[in-house]
Structure 1
């Protein structure tokens, strides 16, 4: 396959961008909305990374993918290591991947994933929460389909121990493929009574719908270890964690016994803060073009 035809290649990225622009027009809030050069991870398909272009048109913002040096908005995900210390655009619900200090004094921080990221980048008091908490405001929870829904990180899809646990009682558990579009993955996760995850956005989606969840760690270890989980939980469940050692999950009964829900009132407060913070975007990034005028006139290699 030629480089341009790979998922991260120029042709396929342009095709995805065009589909997203067309899809944005299906949301009344996006008509005449601000068009924002934004960065999210687009190196492979993953529903959590796809939340930036999925969510923002619903709030009257149309993101257009740009590499970090050209972006004016950092979106959903563990992305801040990709930006330079002199970045002067906006940050909305973004986090660090690793436990490192990375001061960003010129950035306009609308919201951050959690207080650990805030401390590492030198931010003051700002709203916390991952924007994935907003999905339940746009997708109705489907009917229950499984007692346990497992959301393994892409690195863990072939984990033998996890596969054996889920297969121990046929029909009681199902696995969500994170390498799919945002809406489809959200609906699958929301159809469970309990969520077992090694993917952060599996936990976040569970919290958005008030579904009790537990997260664990499998091999291979994720880049940054558990920092992004601790950062998120410090915002949503301060002082406690839903982490359980995988060795303690011997049966599906163990999963259902050990899952815990985030406080619904706190989730609502964080989601409200994330929505309010978006209202400041056009103040901190002035003179943005409006959708659809000017969008498709971008240089092809930048779309």
Structure 2
């Protein structure tokens, strides 16, 4: 009985919260160590491999950090048919100074090194310094990313496209039906926005979690069951474009690093206007109005063949 009252007390609640926080942190550390060992062994054993450099922050879940970033591992594996080694866990390849690739994500400024080949990545902000010049640039996400590289003395072809646009060519759901009128894909910085709790109550709405999504197939299967998508996540928009799902760019907050730069970079690459965007979503909008936001969507105008023609591991 005393333990019951302790758990219900304020101090007890605080203690339980702290205990759960510590347990979750330890689980992430253990998983990261196991993940690191897994790829260390693969790096040693695998002869046919591709080292891909993408964003895996320290102390994060190395397997499910963010759908857009994690997609590097899945898409490169689908395209190449090779073992994909995350650069973060590629100690052997780094020691050998093997080539590494930047493909999906706004990571050119932060992750480029002298052995990096860029195929489709972009820039987060033009204000960020370029720490290292890449070995080679094959394609970038959009013209703003190209301008950034050229201004930093890097040769960059006028070949544009986010590789995530290619996902629908490599994976299609076996079968699906339109189950939801609206899919909402918040950027991970927006996932706790109270507006989302309201929309979750509606049976015709599915709110995605880009950090806890199971696997890419489950994410895509659910996405394809939505009639339209609204997203504050760039790759929520790009993946929707890939699968031909009407979508629109919304903003729940101003908390996304880099502001609008990466979104405009992408929209320019697919020849889409960004006038009147993003739509600010700070108060509840009825579902019919929310759905109508994607009414003017047009398929992306981009030459995927050109992007694939310079793919380094096809």
TM-score range, shorter chain: 0.7 to 0.9
1:202-258 residue CA offsets vs partner (Å, 9 max, x unmatched): 101110011111111223511111211111111113443552121586111112212
Q: Within 5 Å, which residues of 2 pair with 1:73-112?
A: 73-83=101-111, 87-100=114-127, 102=129, 105-112=133-140
Partner of 1:254: 289
How many residue pairs get aligned? The number is 266
TM-score by length of 2: 0.73
Change (3 A) 1:4 1:253: closer
The farther-off stretch of 109-118 and 157-166 is 157-166
Specify the SS of the correspondent of 2:50.
Answer: strand
Larger radius of gyration: 2
One of 261, 283, 290 as aligned partner of 1:227: 261
1:18-74 residue CA offsets vs partner (Å, 9 max, x unmatched): 79999xxxxxxxxx9842222112234222111111111222243211139946211
1:153-209 residue CA offsets vs partner (Å, 9 max, x unmatched): 122122112332453xx2111111211222221222222111011111110111001
Specify the SS of the correspondent of 1:196.
Answer: strand
For structure 1, the residue ranges without an aligned partner over 5 or more in a row are: 23-31, 283-303
Partner of 1:41: 55
Q: Within 5 Å, which residues of 2 pair with 1:110-129?
A: 110-122=138-150, 123-129=155-161
One of 85, 91, 115 as aligned partner of 1:64: 85
Change (3 A) 1:47 1:236: same
Indicate the RMSD between aligned Cα atoms, in angstroms. Answer: 3.2
Partner of 1:53: 73
Partner of 1:244: 279
What is the distance in 2 between the residues matched to 1:176 and 1:116? 29
1:73-128 residue CA offsets vs partner (Å, 9 max, x unmatched): 113111112235x6242111111122326456543112111111111111433321
Change (3 A) 1:88 1:21: closer
Specify the SS of the correspondent of 2:183.
Answer: strand
The farther-off stretch of 148-157 and 67-76 is 67-76
Specify the SS of the correspondent of 1:54.
Answer: helix
Asked whether the 8 Å contact 2:138–2:157 carries over to 1, the reply is: no
What is the distance in 1 between the residues matched to 2:106 and 2:73? 16
Asked whether the 8 Å contact 2:77–2:84 carries over to 1, the reply is: yes
One of 193, 203, 210 as aligned partner of 2:237: 203
What is the distance in 1 between the residues matched to 2:237 and 2:139? 19
The farther-off stretch of 57-66 and 129-138 is 57-66
Asked whether the 8 Å contact 1:39–1:66 carries over to 2, the reply is: yes
Partner of 2:7: none
